A and B are shown apart, each in its own frame.
Chain A
């Protein structure tokens, strides 16, 4: 069970300003059903650029609903310049804090506010123009870099807590680490034991395997009157066919395991398994 503050529980159980302002001055629509949380924030802004009303509709967990609710309370009465300065930390602080895994809920609040203000001003948000790093949750590099800077993030795990990036399939972990290194400029701690093996795309893997077989393996075999052919790559299983003298050699299994597999593991991917075609 999450440790929610009284303030979070209060805003979750009795949310303020639920609904949608008709003919709103600015609307911010962020998140999606697939992501597990989404927020539609509508603002009423008067001629003096003062936010006179704010309403929300949220799909999400308790902290998403509480963040939305407290946000509407915070911004009412603010000028849009003041509102533009509200950070996700301000939202979290107003709730007396959020569990670290739930910080992305406060980030969603801030993003919706920004989007609503941009909508009012007729601007396009720069964040959306970045390049998508996390495809599972549609997070761009600009959003990640901003979160790193604003919230002093120092690990990939923290990036996930704040932006959700990396929380799905995990394939973007290396990209996130690189962004972190580039942004922070210092060496970033990497976990001692990574459960996730190094990832390569299928094409990268096959190309690299072909290259190593051609450059490192074949010459040795050809010298002994044999040859090798790559038949298939299925996940980490590399299927090869031995030719010429190798084919009839009773040491062919040893050749495959001790020589071919060793080379491929050393030069391509530690997890590869080489097997002979049946």
Chain B
């Protein structure tokens, strides 16, 4: 392998993303000299508290809300659980939850296991999606009931990048007095968000998807929304989340949000153009390939493409020879035996679901990398098809 091909071509940013250099630089002080506890009375701790406050402001600015509405957590999953369980505890008599069939496991598994978690049986409506991954708003409207405690719908899907009309859905829930949560882990930093005038009560985000480190997340709680904490303990986060603050990561997340705001245009122009070129190039150079998910209502960085009659894990391992990193919705990559629940909900045929590859780009990708992937993929797919019993030239 030449030195050139040893370089990692990272196109799996919906899985996790590289920590931005500026983020790491901002964090270092809080991993070294400034190690005080932000809750302490002395200046040495108070300065650290000030850094957390700055980060809170940076996150709020990206989301278009106030710093008081930001609660730091350990990850997106914690934020999701906190929001949904808070709503169920706030309204113990309401035993209905509305979500979708394409949620991330953080919300999906929680809803599947609500009974174990709350000791009560809840009825869960899982909204259907069409072949492009879009929701039926009439079905949603009909599902809203007086018994509904909370609606939880992702802002953008992690596998296909499809964007959901959460603004409108939140308005419809609000009109019925129902709380609304959105898992915006994939949306934050990739598309503009302004919560100020929206009816969204809870929003989850995760640091490592937008170039901050792993292990830090945020739950946005709209001012005035009733809230019951998930992690109780100390008075941190205004009593909304116990546990000593993960200061360095919080500072990093703040910086990452600031950078995301600055790079929002680039994400939606340069990154989008690279994604489009990659997508169109693959669809035209590889026969029997197809796009999964709505073409336009979609994140600018995500392309989910199925290569029929070949299997995803085999494709990924061939890509791995060239250090190209991406994901697959195939069964074999997950350790489960069935392909992605998202693609199955969309009715993607088995011939295609097993051979789906998700490319997710970031501002750190280059045109050369797109060229490289476009150059390698057709031969990889062709070599696997050559040994597939279902493939006919």
A residues sitting closer than 8 Å to B (CB atoms) are: 2, 12-13, 15, 18-19, 29, 33-40, 56-62, 64-65, 101-102, 136-137, 160, 164, 167-168, 195, 197, 235-237, 271-273
Q: A58-B387, A59-B390 are in contact. List 19 more A-B contacts (CB 8 A).
A: A12-B314, A13-B317, A13-B321, A33-B351, A36-B331, A36-B338, A57-B388, A57-B389, A59-B310, A59-B388, A59-B389, A60-B311, A61-B313, A62-B313, A65-B314, A167-B336, A235-B123, A271-B121, A272-B121
Rounded to whole Å, the gap between the CB of A169 and the closest CB of chain B is 9
Q: Are A195 and B121 in contact (CB under 8 A)?
A: no
Q: Are B332 and A61 in contact (CB under 8 A)?
A: yes
B residues sitting closer than 8 Å to A (CB atoms) are: 95, 113, 115-116, 121, 123, 309-314, 317-318, 321, 330-333, 335-339, 350-351, 354, 386-390
Nearest-CB residue, chain B, relative to A102: B332
Rounded to whole Å, the gap between the CB of B236 and the closest CB of chain A is 31
Residue pairs across A and B with Cβ atoms less than 8 A apart, 17 shown, are A12-B314, A13-B318, A35-B337, A36-B339, A37-B311, A38-B389, A56-B387, A58-B389, A59-B390, A60-B314, A61-B313, A61-B330, A62-B314, A65-B314, A136-B337, A136-B338, A236-B121
Rounded to whole Å, the gap between the CB of B113 and the closest CB of chain A is 7
Q: Are B314 and A36 in contact (CB under 8 A)?
A: no
| Chain B residues positioned under 8 Å from A237 (CB to CB) | 123
B310, B317, B337, B338 — which one has the most chain A CB atoms within 10 A of its CB? B337
Q: Which of B113, B336, B388 contacts A195 (CB 8 A)?
A: B113
B314, B318, B351 — which one has the most chain A CB atoms within 10 A of its CB? B314
| Chain B residues positioned under 8 Å from A2 (CB to CB) | 313
Complex: how many Å from CA A204 to CA B233?
46
Q: How many residue pairs bridge A and B at CB < 8 Å?
A: 87
Q: Which of B332, B386, B387, B390 contacts A36 (CB 8 A)?
A: B332
Nearest-CB residue, chain A, relative to B351: A33
| Chain A residues positioned under 8 Å from B309 (CB to CB) | 33, 59
Given contacts A60-B332, A61-B330, whether A33 and B387 have CB atoms under 8 Å apart is no
Q: Are A18 and B387 in contact (CB under 8 A)?
A: yes
Q: Are B338 and A168 in contact (CB under 8 A)?
A: yes
Q: Are A195 and B337 in contact (CB under 8 A)?
A: no
Complex: how many Å from CA A36 to CA B123?
32
Nearest-CB residue, chain B, relative to A41: B389
Complex: how many Å from CA A20 to CA B321?
27
Complex: how many Å from CA A40 to CA B389?
6
Nearest-CB residue, chain A, relative to B317: A62
Given contacts A12-B314, A36-B332, A60-B314, whether A65 and B337 have CB atoms under 8 Å apart is no
Nearest-CB residue, chain A, relative to B336: A167
Rounded to whole Å, the gap between the CB of A79 and the closest CB of chain B is 26
| Chain A residues positioned under 8 Å from B337 (CB to CB) | 35-36, 136-137, 160, 164, 167-168
Nearest-CB residue, chain A, relative to B333: A61
| Chain B residues positioned under 8 Å from A273 (CB to CB) | 95, 121, 123
| Chain A residues positioned under 8 Å from B310 (CB to CB) | 59
Rounded to whole Å, the gap between the CB of B5 and the closest CB of chain A is 15
| Chain A residues positioned under 8 Å from B317 (CB to CB) | 12-13, 62
Complex: how many Å from CA A61 to CA B331?
9
| Chain B residues positioned under 8 Å from A164 (CB to CB) | 337
Given contacts A59-B388, A61-B314, A167-B338, whether A36 and B354 have CB atoms under 8 Å apart is yes
Complex: how many Å from CA A139 to CA B100?
31
Complex: how many Å from CA A164 to CA B387?
23
Q: Which of B330, B338, B387 contacts A57 (CB 8 A)?
A: B387
Q: Are A38 and B121 in contact (CB under 8 A)?
A: no
| Chain A residues positioned under 8 Å from B321 (CB to CB) | 13
Given contacts A58-B387, A160-B337, whether A33 and B354 have CB atoms under 8 Å apart is yes
| Chain B residues positioned under 8 Å from A136 (CB to CB) | 337-338
Given contacts A36-B337, A37-B311, A60-B314, whether A65 and B123 have CB atoms under 8 Å apart is no
Given contacts A40-B389, A195-B113, A235-B123, whether A101 and B314 have CB atoms under 8 Å apart is no
Complex: how many Å from CA A160 to CA B339?
16
Q: Are A38 and B390 in contact (CB under 8 A)?
A: yes
Q: Which of A36, A58, A137 contacts B388 (CB 8 A)?
A: A58
Complex: how many Å from CA A195 to CA B312?
29
| Chain B residues positioned under 8 Å from A195 (CB to CB) | 113, 116
Nearest-CB residue, chain B, relative to A31: B389
| Chain A residues positioned under 8 Å from B336 (CB to CB) | 167
B115, B318, B333, B387 — which one has the most chain A CB atoms within 10 A of its CB? B387
| Chain B residues positioned under 8 Å from A236 (CB to CB) | 121
Nearest-CB residue, chain B, relative to A9: B317
